[in-house]
Amino acid sequence: MAPREVLVIKIGGGKDLNHDAIARDIADFWQAGYRLVIVHGGAELTNEIATQLGHPPQFITSPSGHTSRRTDRKTLEIFEMVYCGLLNKGWVERLQRLGINAVGLSGLDGRLWEGKRKKAIKALINGRRMLIRDDYTGTVEQVNTSLLQSLLSAGYLPVLTPPAISYENEAINVDGDRAAAQTAIALSARALIILTSVPGLLRAFPDERTLIPSIPAHEVEEYLSVAQGRMKKKVLAAAEAVKAGVSQVIFADGRVHNPIQRALAGEGTVIQ
Amino acid sequence: MAPREVLVIKIGGGKDLNHDAIARDIADFWQAGYRLVIVHGGAELTNEIATQLGHPPQFITSPSGHTSRRTDRKTLEIFEMVYCGLLNKGWVERLQRLGINAVGLSGLDGRLWEGKRKKAIKALINGRRMLIRDDYTGTVEQVNTSLLQSLLSAGYLPVLTPPAISYENEAINVDGDRAAAQTAIALSARALIILTSVPGLLRAFPDERTLIPSIPAHEVEEYLSVAQGRMKKKVLAAAEAVKAGVSQVIFADGRVHNPIQRALAGEGTVIQ
């Protein structure tokens, strides 16, 4: 891999990730001339702060059994406080400390991540099917690459975070992994590295000895059934990215030293 | 005043400001071709949320009787949640809804506002003089105009908020009015409009009939003694701006319809 190529790094929201080690690795690649775009999560801390603010997280179960976060307007605002405020500015400060001129943006800023809001969400509540219409979630369909490219060309490292913006100009909660995948596709990134609290995709979660070391791009969707919980969306994101031409998606351990170096050296689950 | 000239609009943090009216006025000026930069506050809401999070605001009284916000690291993080998360993204969303491609940034992003952190703060606590060394406050001395100009040239409206970044790469709480003044100076703005919950500078606060309609630039410092509380910093900001070549600073009412139009028509306190 040659410098000037773009790497998109998705940093999960688990509290046991080694933020200092990730930041140092980012600095090394940046100073070697790679163009990096960071996307970060923050679900765990959002749940804690939402609870402190008297609006604890709620989850919706769809009739097919899929669970997702309920995002009413109040939840969305707490989400913005934690993701766009505390965590995004925390990452910018941490990277500035390492000499990187980071710029933190949400998907609202410059319509960086634009997409469709779900008009209604089907949910099973006390065994009854309900339609929830005041939920602010959706999917990223467009990425403002011109804004990202002009920041990168001017020497800034973009640090991106949900929410995104709907076509009707509403802030919408979107999956960070899939937003990172769309970003990697839009920038023709050489690789998308997804750092989490596990060493990669595990055949029998949580047994780390069952790590799947590699998956051929054309088989990735078959692994959707292997993935547990939040890992499902990551496999979906990976499938979207490799299908659209990102040559490598790597699920890697964000708790270790040199996590990006190790991911690019083939540790974790490499999808290509 | 001709389009392409820069107007810096500082929107105060009082909860009685008419945000929709301010946003509509911003949209009108933007669509007429003016280049606008927005700076917003958020002190009132920060106090509320800090209290909800069990870390209520504290204030420091200096030996000379001046009161300022105590900003320990925890307070700074709550400040970031409210200013950079909830309020900044709220403004971006509100402006996007009016067809303006807004981009929200803190002073950390791209080192937009860089300055000196106060090494130690003198305080009177229970009648004893103390030195507080873990406070994160400071003053903006440098503005990254190249980042602002390139956003403006590409058609984005920058929405700026504290904190700033220290020369040692720490997030620091800075006064929003003085940061707006430095921004207006750095962009050679035609005017700095400071919108608050009062009609302008009042000779006998809170009697609105004692509004001071205009102040000659060379006399503005004499009015420091007239200003009460938070208004003092605004007068200081105005003095800094007009002294450095900003031709007009206007203190205007942010609660009314068309607040920017009315300010430029001479309502409020015009310093020039």
A19-53 pLDDT tens trace: 999 999 999 999 999 999 999 999 999 999 999 99
Q: Report yes or no on whether pTM surpasses 0.95.
A: yes
Segments making up each domain of chain B, as ranges? 6-271
In chain A, beta strands by DSSP E: 6-11, 35-40, 59-61, 67-69, 102-106, 113-117, 121-125, 128-132, 138-143, 157-161, 164-166, 171-172, 191-196, 214-215, 248-253, 269-271
| Residues in B lying within 8 Å of A, measured between beta carbons | 49, 52-54, 77, 80-86, 88-90, 92-93, 96-97, 101-106, 108-111, 146-147, 150, 154, 156, 163, 165, 169-171
**Residue B64 pLDDT greater than 90, yes or no:** no
Least confident range of A177-181, B41-45, B167-171:
B41-45
Predicted local confidence at residue B192, as pLDDT: 98
Q: Which residues of B touch A165 (CB under 8 A)?
A: 93, 96
N-terminal to C-terminal alpha carbon distance within chain A:
14
Contacts of A122 (CB under 8 A, 6+ apart): A62, A63, A129, A130, A131, A132
Q: Which residues of A touch B83 (CB under 8 A)?
A: 85
Mean pLDDT of A89-96: 98
Query: Percent of chain B scored above 70 by pLDDT?
Result: 99
Tell me the nearest-neighbour CA distance from B113 into chain A, angstroms.
12
Q: Does the beta-carbon distance from B154 to A154 stay under 8 Å?
A: no
- How many angstroms separate the CA atoms of A226 and A149, rounded? 36
**Residue B1 pLDDT greater than 60, yes or no:** no
Global ipTM: 0.96
Q: Does the beta-carbon distance from B103 to A110 stay under 8 Å?
A: yes
Contact status, residue B201 vs residue B251, Cβ threshold 8 Å: yes
Q: Does the beta-carbon distance from B96 to A108 stay under 8 Å?
A: yes
Mean pLDDT of B198-209: 94
Q: A108 is written with which tokens? A: 């609202």
Least confident range of A78-87, A151-160, B1-10, B155-164:
B1-10
**Residue A3 pLDDT greater than 70, yes or no:** no
> A64 falls in which pLDDT band (50, 70, 90)?
confident
Looking at every residue in chain A, the average pLDDT score rounds to 95
Phi/psi of residue A26, nearest 5 degrees: -60, -45
Q: Which CATH superfamily is domain A6-271 in?
A: Acetylglutamate kinase-like (3.40.1160.10)
Predicted local confidence at residue B45, as pLDDT: 95
**Residue A83 pLDDT greater than 90, yes or no:** yes
Mean pLDDT of A91-102: 98
Contact status, residue B208 vs residue B218, Cβ threshold 8 Å: no
Predicted local confidence at residue A2, as pLDDT: 59
- How many angstroms separate the CA atoms of B246 and B120, rounded? 32
> A171 falls in which pLDDT band (50, 70, 90)?
very high
Q: Does the beta-carbon distance from A53 to B54 stay under 8 Å?
A: no
**Residue B3 pLDDT greater than 80, yes or no:** no
Predicted local confidence at residue A228, as pLDDT: 82
